[in-house]
A and B are shown apart, each in its own frame.
Chain A
Amino acid sequence: MSVLPQETTVSANSSTAAAEARAAKLMKRRSRIRFYEIIVWIAAIAAYFLLPSKMLILTEIAILALFAVSLDLVLGFAGIVSLGHTAFFGLGAYVAGLMAQHYFAEPVTGLIVAGVASGVLGLLTSFLILRGSDLTRLMTTLGIGLMMAEVANQMAWLTGGADGLSGFSPGPILGMFEFDLFGKVGYLYCVGVLFIGTMIMRRIAFSPFGLSLKAIKGNSMRSAMVAVPGRKRIVTAYTIAAVFAGMAGALLTQTTAFVSPDVLAFHRSADVLLVLVIGGTGYLYGGIFGAILFTLVKDWLSVITPQYWMFYIGLLLVILVLIGRDRLSRWVEYLPERLSKKEDR
């Protein structure tokens, strides 16, 4: 491993070959499926059989998880903070509602159209977040979120204004699976979309593109100095994240057969950020773990203290940030997976 010239050619070759083999192994290990990932998906399926009376809250978790995983792609990977991510969620929710009401009630079609619509909005607004600091980005994204909420409110002829959109019913999924009263089909549908969405974003995360996003987040000046076109990458990531956020919104519309103006409310942007803080950023599954914890804690608190649950959510947030400052993005390292990592060293 020495750089000194007296090193013989033979040992240089063998050490190079050894380094290549090790590098290949390390790179493969980077993207391999982790133990906790398998647990998540088994648990999601098991819940369907074990908790038949909890379908609604489980569906809520799956939708929030997809929303949060999409935010992680911009926050946890590219390092772009946003207080307006619900602009995409809300647009997706409305588009899915309007699709079902006026055009085509098949949910998967509505889901895709909603994703495309939100993606277009993401692409158009991504140029606003390229410049400036975290603070300017927070304000820009917050502003876009507020504007979207007001637009939806004012365009009552289209969106139903403050009353929201109702009086439509999504058709059977792919023309085959009718939504049932207990929400079982709805749950499986949402988990399916969450699974596919997470797998797609997971592939992106381990691609050269995903690595370059983390480089931009880690040190944007240096990333430019290794030829990473930062703005282009951020625009792409933001657009992809908007697509999945829009799909999450569409899922909410389709499983509840209702669009409330609440889908564009500021608190949703704040909630999804909170979910990522709870679950950890930069590894996608933080969105899922965070959504489970956030929803369960919220549900539990709102039962035991219906009027003051927000207080405890706030307290939880403060404690999490205080004790976990650096660990927020690294909860995953505390999982059993970590133990098996040592042997490779």
Chain B
Amino acid sequence: MNEIVLETRHLVRRFGAFLATNDVSLKVERGARHALIGPNGAGKTTLINLLTGVLPPSEGQVFLEGEDITSMASFRRVKRGLTRTFQINQLFNEFTPLETVALAIAEREGVGHNLWRSIAGYGKVVDEAADLLARFGLASVMGERTVILPYGKQRLLEIALAFASKPRVLLLDEPAAGVPEDERHEVLQIVSDLPADVTVLLIEHDMDLVFSFANRISVLVAGAVFVEGTVAEISNDPRVKAVYLGENA
């Protein structure tokens, strides 16, 4: 359990004079369920953007399985097993869910550059896409345009799409955000059913979910790691209660 799969060293990101990420050094162990919590504007999503290459850091480094990926393009990080979901759905509106996940599977299998064969000819890709959608309860809508799906279904697709890349490290940015109460359990079930060898870094505001899911928690305040520890340590830390839990109450 001690192998570090994802690590940042003195990561800094500035937007003008604003310090969104302030000297963050984070270590995530293989198979960890690591939660990242903190008040709004603490820089959680910025950190995820730095980890996945959506934003370049102003200073510092990012390591994936010991390799420096600081200046690596996003798509290469995904190929190396690091992927994410987005807080606000980032889907292909005109695609069907089937096309959406088939695309990710085709890219993962290295056939995405083929421009001569119809996707229908890749039986394994299509079968896997169907299985994945069935697992997420999306089989009945696989042929609809994504944009017309109910929000809960889109949210499931958002997560299914990250799964389609078979990540070894998965960053979940508030997976249950905006999901109606009656569809929430589906999303939470999916998240807690993740294979044990997949490392998960989770951003979440729902404290019940964080405390039941995570085995390690980092609290981010004003761009910096305020405190880090086990669930027991964090939930009993009076300072955390003051800056974070207190604010929510």
Shortest beta-carbon distance from B205 to chain A in Å: 22
Given the contacts A204-B115, A209-B115, A225-B84, A19 and B133 also touching, CB distance less than 8 Å: yes
Contact of A16 among B117, B131, B164, B186 (CB under 8 A): B131
A326 to B70, CA, bound (A): 39
- Which A191-208 residues have C-beta < 8 A from chain B? 203-204, 206-208
CB nearest neighbor in A for B78? A227
Shortest beta-carbon distance from B144 to chain A in Å: 8
Asked whether, in the complex, the Cβ of B54 is within 8 Å of the Cβ of A227, the reply is no
The 22 listed contacts between A and B (C-beta, < 8 Å) are A22-B142, A22-B143, A23-B133, A24-B123, A30-B119, A203-B116, A208-B122, A209-B113, A211-B106, A218-B95, A222-B91, A222-B92, A222-B161, A223-B103, A224-B73, A224-B74, A226-B165, A227-B75, A227-B79, A227-B107, A227-B165, A236-B113
Chain B contacts of A211 at CB under 8 A?
Answer: 99, 102-103, 106, 119
Chain B contacts of A345 at CB under 8 A?
Answer: 143
- With A20-B127, A208-B106, A226-B165 known, 7 other A-B pairs at CB within 8 A are A15-B139, A23-B133, A207-B116, A208-B111, A208-B113, A209-B113, A224-B75
A204 to B90, CA, bound (A): 25
CB nearest neighbor in A for B89? A222
Chain B contacts of A3 at CB under 8 A?
Answer: 135-137, 186, 189-190, 193
Shortest beta-carbon distance from B104 to chain A in Å: 4
Asked whether, in the complex, the Cβ of A214 is within 8 Å of the Cβ of B73, the reply is no
Asked whether, in the complex, the Cβ of B114 is within 8 Å of the Cβ of A24, the reply is no
- Which A216-232 residues have C-beta < 8 A from chain B? 218-219, 221-230, 232
Asked whether, in the complex, the Cβ of A226 is within 8 Å of the Cβ of B103, the reply is yes
Contact of B120 among A22, A31, A212, A215 (CB under 8 A): A31
Chain B contacts of A344 at CB under 8 A?
Answer: 143
Chain B: number of interface residues, binned into ranges: 35 or more
CB nearest neighbor in A for B189? A3
Shortest beta-carbon distance from A75 to chain B in Å: 15
Most buried by B among A208, A209, A345: A208
A233 to B95, CA, bound (A): 18
Chain A contacts of B102 at CB under 8 A?
Answer: 27, 211
